[in-house]
Amino acid sequence: MKKLYDENNLETKYAYHDNVIFCVKSMKQHWDYRNHLKVIKNINSVHLKKIYNIWYEDGMTFYLEEYISAQKTTQISNEGVKKELIYKYINQLLEAIKVFHQYGIIHKDIKPDNILIDRNDNVVLIDYDIIRKPSDFYIKVSDTTLNGTKGFL
């Protein structure tokens, strides 16, 4: 497993198998989060990052997810982008959100850094670290804490 660092200096781990790259994510989370990941694992959408495996060790949740060679929407220049392409991206983002909502999941951190454009010109919504179901808000007092990225809430 190779360790790299992202722009926030956070450790990102990548696994290689049969010339395919996978991302390995870890997070200390409660059982609700694990159940939400299990739901996402069973979703097939070109607009969501695929989760292949989920496991638990020492109070941590780990998951193996698809590596996407793409650019963030923040890397796309505003100059020369046609309105039709912008509408396409917005519709695809709404489709990703719709898929989450069909499974009763709320993303809670939609921002330009969490929206990728893949090689096939498809929007892919990433970063499932603070996903929730609406029922979580009524059950957990701890979820009254403001989650998400400052400036995008």
* Within a domain: 146: no
With residue 123 as reference, give the H or E element that holds it: strand 123-125
Buried-exposed string 73-108: b where 16+ CB fall within 10 A, e elsewhere: beebeeeeeeeeeeeebeebbebbbebbeeeebbbb
Task: Assign residue 67 the CATH number of its domain.
Answer: 1.10.510.10
Q: What's the DSSP call for residue 74?
A: G
Structural domain span for residue 14: 2-141
The number of residues in the chain equals 153
Helix (H, G, I), strand (E, B) or coil at 141: helix
- Residue-wise DSSP of 9-35: --EEEEEEETTEEEEEEEE---HHHHH
85 within some domain: yes
The pTM of the full predicted model, rounded to 2 decimals, is: 0.75
**Domain-embedded: residue 153:** no
Higher model confidence: residue 53 or residue 79? Answer: 53
Neighbouring residues of 16: CB distance < 8 A, sequence distance ≥ 6: 2, 22
In a domain, 22, yes or no: yes
Kindly report the average pLDDT of the chain as a whole number: 78
What percent of the chain has a predicted confidence (pLDDT) above 90? 29
Output the CA torsion 131→137→143→147 (10° steps): 50
Exposure class string for 135-147: b at 16+ Cβ within 10 A, else e: ebeeeeeeeeeee
Catalytic: 143?
no
Quick check: is 30 in a domain? Answer: yes
Q: Which range scores top for mean pLDDT: 31-35, 42-46, 136-140, 145-149?
A: 42-46
**Residue 51, domain member (yes or no):** yes
**Residue 152, domain member (yes or no):** no
Instruction: Look at residue 31 and tell me if it is in a domain.
Output: yes
pLDDT digits (tens, 9 = 90+) for 12-60: 677 767 777 788 877 776 656 778 888 899 999 999 999 998 888 887 8
The reported pLDDT for the residue numbered 90 is 95
From 32, 109, 118, 129, the catalytic residue: 109
| Whole-number CA gyration radius for the chain | 16
Number of domains in the chain: 1
